[in-house]
């Protein structure tokens, strides 16, 4: 059984997709870690902190695609 040849372009695309996913997870984790400090120092309510998470998620996804 022979193994199909992998193209360098396919490897590059896969590498870029994995890197983009890593950046999205890293950015989301950073927001989750900073959120308690933001709530206490800025006096943000729980509802507003949930809005911050909801607002940053699409922006992080969009900027990683650019």
Per-residue pLDDT reduced to its tens digit, 9-26: 888 989 998 988 888 788
Which pLDDT tens digit goes with each residue over 29-65? 888 888 899 899 999 998 888 888 888 777 766 665 6
Q: What is the number of alpha carbons within 13 Å of residue 31 lying toward its C-beta? A: 17
Measured CA to CA in angstroms, residue 5 lies from 9, 14, 16, 18 at distances of 12, 15, 20, 21
The pLDDT value given to residue 40: 92
SS3 content of the chain, % helix, strand, coil (to 5): 85, 0, 15
Q: Is the pTM of this model over 0.75?
A: no
Sorted by where each begins, the domain ranges of the chain are 27-66
């Amino acid at each position: 059984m022979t193994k199909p040849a992998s193209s360098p372009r396919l490897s590059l695309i896969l590498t870029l997709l994995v890197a983009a996913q890593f950046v999205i997870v890293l950015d989301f984790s950073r927001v989750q870690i900073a959120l308690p400090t933001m709530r206490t120092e800025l006096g943000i309510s729980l509802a507003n902190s949930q809005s911050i998470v909801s607002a940053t998620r699409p922006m992080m996804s969009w900027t990683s695609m650019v």
